[in-house]
Amino acid sequence: MSITRNGRIAAGAMAAVLAGSLAACSGGGGGGGEPDEGATAEEIEAALEEGGIIDYWTWTPQAEKQIEAFEKAYPNMTVNLTDTQGAEEHNTGLQNAIAADKGIPDVAQLEYQSVPQFQLPGQLTDVTGYGLGELEDLYTPSTWGSVALGDGLWGLPQDSGPMALFYNAEVFEENDLVVPKTWDEYVEQARKLKKSDPDKVLFNDDGNGPGTVTSMIWQAGGKPFQVEGDTVTIDLADEGTTRWAETYQQLIDEELMSDITGWSDEWYQALGDGTIASMVVGAWMPGIFEDGVPDGDGAWRIAPMPTYDGTPVNAENGGSADVIPAGADDKVLAAGFLKWLNSDPESIRVFMETGGFPATVAELGSEEFLGYESEYFGGQKINEVLAAGADDVVEGWSYLPWQSYANSIFSDTVGQAYLDRTSLLDGLSEWQAENVRYGEEQGFTVDG
Amino acid sequence: MVAFAFAFLAPVLYSLYLSLFRNQLMGGNQFVGLANYSAAFTDPKFWDGTGRVLLFLVVQVPIMLAVALAAALVIDSGRLFGKRFTRIALFVPYAVPGVVAVLMWGFLYGDRIGLVGWINEAAGSQVLTPFSREWMLVAIGNIVTWEFVGYNMLILYSALRTVPGELYEAAAIDGAGQWRVIRAVKLPALRGALVIATIFSIIGSFQLFNEPNILKVLAPTLISSSYTPNMYAYNLSFLGQQVNYAATVAIIMGVLTAAIAYVVQLRGTRRDS
């Protein structure tokens, strides 16, 4: 409510108009995303030597240093960096630029979960023609699988996020908990902790977005979303998803988890003082612990993900690729930068130096990387645990072509089961129904 | 006139135009006539949100206006010590940027590190649970009331200041007490201002957005993405990329709001004449 209420109606309409006029011209992208004529490695190299200007959108904290190194290697190149702050704003900005066909970056970061959303409507460049397909062996299979969709290659992996169990060893010791190897053991520890210290919880999930949940379903062997051309199959009651739901339901029903808002001050504080005693999250998390949770210094350790039957299985959580939008100005230079950014040892070294977790097999296996002893994590060789997880990622996962919309209605459906302690499977089936409806409205053939 | 047409009519007309199309991720843009409207009229999410703001309207607006009226009368009575201070103190919340105000209340409502958590601890039980299914809308109403009582008080108070002094003198000569003066002189003088404040508040209720949208970050499962029609339109447009349907929702809400505000104005002015 405000004094300019009438003005607000106009402003609201104006916003709708603006967004609408942008959307109106987005049809131009077309359906297929036909492969570009491309260029050979020599042609790309020559173009980089000759130089030019490209625009790069990212929220990677290491980008500035990577660009510095790139411009040193190719002195005639200039990279204009736009720091887009975070995934959500980034996607909206990119969507608007593409729709307006104006100010489209040459290279942009995209979360793995958002790649299909841009790729299917034909908004990304198939980089196969630029010889980037030959780089396949450099990357872990799961990250490669996130950019090689359908018959094309839509970018290169920038980082990866194989999951691990982060736990507060001090709380574990005080309460006589063991590091769980299976999810049954995990639930058991959660019960034990609740009994011995009711102020602490083993697990926290605010029910806002499905980032953790989709990764946990992935780890349980679920493949609820399958995309084949414009046909999408949704089955949020498949064997793996159900397996996850049955475990998670116990945490909800027995009140073994808290709902502190993720990434809030309260949340960081709860990680620091032991209120939240463990979390499952991607391998990019250690740097955030060091920066954001100073009170947890020395207390936290990292263990492999608990699994359902004790044999190691893993999933990716988060992580991004870099892509070339279909409307990019100079695709040859863009391809050159993209390749350098995500495969040149110097770029990856800079990326890792400040806490990035790589997607490249060589770096994941290097002695220096694996031997690193983290002071924050009590001298533990954390990368040994994290990198080992990358080998066990289940293949064949895919996200929805409208994942960001699906994420936005997660709390309306599945999240309600957290709140009322009702059946997760019912919540999942409601989420499925809403997604089927949305997909059909958007012109997909949806099976679900 | 041209500027008016451009700034006010063009967006509305364009929204109308948009609402007749449907743009799909696969398949592009096509004319669909009134299909978006028929979809909206049978859309449970839309009506759920509309019902919620209506409920909010019939409960919160009378409370807020009653408090504002009482405050205006008390300040105008001249019997209050520190009248200036009271007036400013009541008005200050309105000057606090809406986003800041909601964030502040969000922290106060917090059960772990907020004021509510502290009260609950002192009481030894969960006396206050603003972040629950039962109390969420009340908690939002509390914030909105806090924000706008001072603003409405000021509208009413300035109407009171225009009452000519002779009327009070005449009333005093007739031997009227304070209550009598309020009933016979002040309230009739306030009618026009009350109608205006009511209309503003009705529009404001239908436009409810900031408060729930910010609190959603703190309580995502309590506040759905279609909690109010405005939030629904926003999420459809920016996350669902359904700009056409969002425009449809916006136009239906605009017409509904205008109709209700018009009825209130008719009633208010009819009694005037």
CA distance B165 to chain A (A): 30
Report which of A210, A206, A208, A190 is spatially closest to residue A198, judged by C-alpha positions.
Answer: A190
Contact B242 A16 (CB under 8 A): no
Q: Where are the alpha helices (DSSP H) in B1-43?
A: 2-4, 10-18, 35-41
Residue B224, Cα to own-chain centre: how many angstroms?
19
Contact A443 B24 (CB under 8 A): yes
What homologous superfamily is domain A35-160+318-364 in, according to CATH?
Answer: Periplasmic binding protein-like II (3.40.190.10)
- Beta bridge mates, A322: A109, A156
Contact A443 B144 (CB under 8 A): no
**Do β-strands A52-58 and A77-83 pair in parallel, antiparallel, or remain unpaired?**
parallel
CB B40 within 8 A of CB B46: yes
**Which H/E stretch holds residue B197?**
helix B187-206
**Which residues of B are less than 8 Å from A443 in CB distance?**
24-27
- Beta bridge mates, A124: A325
**Tokens 């023609």 — which residue?**
A129
Q: How far is CA A131 from CA A36, A150, A329, A443, B184, in A?
A: 11, 17, 19, 33, 88
The chain-wide mean pLDDT, for chain B, equals 91
**Tokens 């290697």 — which residue?**
A73
Q: Which domain holds residue B215?
A: 48-272
Tokens for A280, please give them. Answer: 């499952």
Whether residue B40 lies inside any domain: the answer is no
Evaluate if residue B271 carries a pLDDT over 80: no
Whether residue B8 lies inside any domain: the answer is no
Q: How far apart are CA A272 and CA A275, in angstroms?
A: 8
**CATH number for the domain running over A164-315+392-447:** 3.40.190.10
Q: How far apart are CA A249 and CA A421, in angstroms?
A: 8
The count of other CB atoms within 10 Å of the CB of residue A366 is 16
Whether residue B210 lies inside any domain: the answer is yes
Residue intervals of chain A classified under CATH 3.40.190.10 are 35-160+318-364, 164-315+392-447
The predicted pLDDT at position A302 comes to 98
Evaluate if residue B270 carries a pLDDT over 90: no
Residue type at B6 in one-letter notation: F
Global confidence as pTM: 0.88
Number of Cβ pairs < 8 A linking chain A and chain B: 143
Whether residue B100 lies inside any domain: the answer is yes
Per-residue pLDDT tens over the stretch B11-23: 899 999 999 999 8
**Tokens 């809030």 — which residue?**
A264
The predicted pLDDT at position B36 comes to 95
Evaluate if residue B268 carries a pLDDT over 90: no
Across the interface, of A5, A419, A443, the residue whose CB is closest to B26 is A443
Give A238-245's long-range contacts (Cβ < 8 A, gap of 24+).
A241/A217, A241/A428, A242/A425, A243/A308, A244/A213, A244/A216, A244/A217, A244/A219, A244/A220, A245/A424, A245/A425, A245/A428
Contact B23 A412 (CB under 8 A): no
**Which H/E stretch holds residue A156?**
strand A156-157
The predicted pLDDT at position B272 comes to 52
CB B208 within 8 A of CB A1: yes
What DSSP letter does each residue of A162-192 carry, written as one string? BEEEEEEHHHHHHTT----SBHHHHHHHHHH
Residues composing chain B: 273
Task: Report how many domains make up chain B.
Answer: 1
Q: How far is CA A433 from CA A134, A439, B226, in A?
A: 40, 10, 16
**Which residues of A are less than 8 Å from B217 in CB distance?**
208, 261
Per-residue pLDDT tens over the stretch B179-214: 888 888 899 999 999 999 999 999 999 999 999 999
Q: How far apart are CA A448 and CA A429, in angstroms?
A: 10
What phi-psi label fits residue B12: left (phi over 0), alpha (psi between -120 and 50 degrees) or beta?
alpha
Residue of B nearest to A402 (CA): B240
CB A125 within 8 A of CB A324: yes
Chunked mean pLDDT (size 10), chain A, 448 residues: 36 38 35 62 95 96 94 97 90 90 96 93 94 96 93 95 97 97 98 96 93 96 93 97 97 95 91 96 92 95 97 95 96 97 96 90 94 95 95 93 93 95 97 96 92
Whether residue B92 lies inside any domain: the answer is yes
Report which of A384, A354, A390, A359 is spatially closest to residue A369, judged by C-alpha positions.
Answer: A384
| Beta strand spans in A346-430 (E) | none
The CATH number that applies at residue B204 is 1.10.3720.10
Identify the three-state secondary structure at position B175. Answer: coil
Across the interface, of A121, A208, A269, the residue whose CB is closest to B26 is A121
**Which residues of B are less than 8 Å from A229 in CB distance?**
none
Report which of A106, A65, A108 is spatially closest to residue A87, judged by C-alpha positions.
Answer: A108
The predicted pLDDT at position A88 comes to 83
Identify the three-state secondary structure at position A398. Answer: coil
The predicted pLDDT at position B220 comes to 92
The predicted pLDDT at position B184 comes to 87
Across B27-62, b (16+ Cβ under 10 Å) vs e yields ebeeebeebbbebbeebebbeebbebbeebbeebbe
Contact A408 B207 (CB under 8 A): no
